[in-house]
Amino acid sequence: MQSDVAIVGIGMHPFGRHEGVTGMEQGAHAVREACKDAGISWQDLQFAVGGSAAAGNPDTMVSMLGLTGLQFVNVNNGCATGGTALSTAYNTIKAGMADLGIAIGFDKHPRGAFASDRPVHPVDGGRDWYGGSGMAINPQFFAIKINRYMGKHGISHQTLARVAAKATRNGSMNPMAWRKQPFSEDEILQSQMLAYPLTQYMFCSPGEGGVALVLSRSDQAHKYTNTPIYLNAAVMRSRRFGSFEVKASWLPKDDEVGPTADASRAAFELAGIGPEDVDVAQLQDTESGAEIMHMAENGFCEDGEQEFMLERGETEINGRLPINTDGGCIANGEPIGASGLRQVYENVLQLRGGAGPRQVPNDPKVAYTHVYGAPGISGVTILSK
């Protein structure tokens, strides 16, 4: 597939918990690894785009990497932060502003569910009635959404467990993953019920990590690598009126598509292909229910088909459509700024044929990533070789 921009180097700092290592140091480590992978030095880069939600202003990283005077843009776009860093870098090269640049994402979050200490909704000078009353908690939203979806489309508790079991199995084959211990479906179903129908082992946790990707003009990619991976689309969308999102204190009765379906459609249109052409996909799995619903929202199946797709192992590494081959958020945790780029890193490895024991067979050629998060944003990329 034609594209003006190629990924020519990738780098990662392992995900997980790293006492005494700042989020930014993890980002800088990923940058050095990505430069090494592309056979360049930091001095060769004409620009950088960095994103982090909670670990500091990315551009201050130049003091660790070298004060070369390059253009460094910070982005912060909730759960789409990594994807936004990538699309900004892509557009910079596509617009002819530069030939070689880097997209960086890193983060470091405290333990426990993401919580906001600022009111989500207007309080008119009074108390925070929403968070104060025990709402404004992300797991509630995911649980309510999948609970309704399960009833409507016949998805079982066992299928929720299958998703998490697959994630931990794939994570156990990924040296960069946080959780490398595979859990059985029974262990997952029997872990603590955090928000019915979702149990503890079905959720990802806020975590730490860093990823960097070196991008170049496609017609110069051969200078850096024998296996350039082309970026065919990098799209993000926000919610439209009527979509059901995290921290909604109310919903209209109109039915409307969410931002994932919008971003997915736009990305496929840009790339000129359809869901049937995708060989491997990384989909936002904040918890197992999210992966199930995102399979349909991204166009990979009809609502309800996930039940038998999971039962038949169609989304396993050797299945018809491997999903979350690196263990996804469930095995890697969610450092917000790094998550979206982790998915792209994994897809580059898969398309290069370098994913080791978790390599998708039969020479995959097209790969897809999807992130989703508060307050109702979604980012999609399509890569090819």
The yes or no reply on residue 248 touching other proteins (CB under 8 A) is: yes
- Among 2, 67, 253, 361, the residue binding other proteins under the rule CB under 8 A is 253
DSSP, res 247: T
Q: Judge whether 333 and 209 are in contact, CB under 8 Å.
A: yes
Instruction: Supply the minimum distance, in Å, between the C-beta of residue 199 and other proteins.
Output: 9
Which residues from 102-161 bind other proteins, rule CB under 8 A? Answer: 112-113, 115-117, 119, 121-137, 140, 143-145, 147-148, 151
- Give the integer Cα–Cα distance in Å for 237 and 240: 9
Would you say 46 or 200 has its CB closer to other proteins? Answer: 200
Instruction: Supply the minimum distance, in Å, between the C-beta of residue 280 and other proteins.
Output: 32
Which residues from 197-216 bind other proteins, rule CB under 8 A? Answer: 197-198
- Among 43, 193, 318, 356, the residue binding other proteins under the rule CB under 8 A is 193
Question: 160: which residues sit within 8 A by CB, 6+ positions away?
Answer: 146, 188, 197, 198, 202, 288, 289, 292
Structure tokens at 25: 């140091």
- Among 57, 60, 219, 252, the residue binding other proteins under the rule CB under 8 A is 252
Instruction: Supply the minimum distance, in Å, between the C-beta of residue 266 and other proteins.
Output: 22
Name 107's bridge partners.
209
Q: Judge whether 157 and 196 are in contact, CB under 8 Å.
A: no
Instruction: Supply the minimum distance, in Å, between the C-beta of residue 253 and other proteins.
Output: 7
- Among 195, 295, 323, 329, the residue binding other proteins under the rule CB under 8 A is 195
- Among 2, 20, 96, 192, the residue binding other proteins under the rule CB under 8 A is 192
Instruction: Supply the minimum distance, in Å, between the C-beta of residue 158 and other proteins.
Output: 16
Instruction: Supply the minimum distance, in Å, between the C-beta of residue 140 and other proteins.
Output: 5
Instruction: Supply the minimum distance, in Å, between the C-beta of residue 146 and other proteins.
Output: 9
Instruction: Supply the minimum distance, in Å, between the C-beta of residue 304 and other proteins.
Output: 17
Would you say 45 or 336 has its CB closer to other proteins? Answer: 336
- Count of CB atoms within 10 A of residue 157's CB? 17
By C-alpha distance, which of 10, 17, 11 is closest to 208? 17
Segment interacting with other proteins, rule: CB under 8 A, options 9-17, 39-47, 196-204, 219-227: 196-204
By C-alpha distance, which of 42, 8, 5 is closest to 27? 42
Instruction: Supply the minimum distance, in Å, between the C-beta of residue 58 and other proteins.
Output: 27
The yes or no reply on residue 249 touching other proteins (CB under 8 A) is: yes
- Among 43, 60, 251, 318, the residue binding other proteins under the rule CB under 8 A is 251
Would you say 22 or 116 has its CB closer to other proteins? Answer: 116
Q: Judge whether 228 and 6 are in contact, CB under 8 Å.
A: yes
Segment interacting with other proteins, rule: CB under 8 A, options 15-23, 180-188, 194-202, 204-212: 194-202
Distances (CA, A) of 88 to 91, 103, 156, 176, 378: 5, 8, 40, 26, 15
Q: Judge whether 47 and 77 are in contact, CB under 8 Å.
A: no
Would you say 246 or 301 has its CB closer to other proteins? Answer: 246
Instruction: Supply the minimum distance, in Å, between the C-beta of residue 351 and other proteins.
Output: 38
- Residue 145: how many CA atoms within 13 Å on its side-chain side? 22
- Give the integer Cα–Cα distance in Å for 384 and 368: 9
Q: How many residues bind other proteins (CB under 8 A)?
A: 44
Q: Residue 112: is it exposed, middle or buried by C-beta count within 10 angstroms (0-12/13-18/19+)? A: exposed
Distances (CA, A) of 70 to 42, 54, 65, 98, 372: 10, 23, 11, 11, 31
The yes or no reply on residue 1 touching other proteins (CB under 8 A) is: no
The yes or no reply on residue 97 touching other proteins (CB under 8 A) is: no
User: To which H or E segment does residue 378 belong?
Assistant: strand 377-384
- Give the integer Cα–Cα distance in Å for 339 and 284: 9
- Kindly list the residues in this chain that would bind other proteins in the complex (CB under 8 A): 112-113, 115-117, 119, 121-137, 140, 143-145, 147-148, 151, 192-198, 241, 248-253
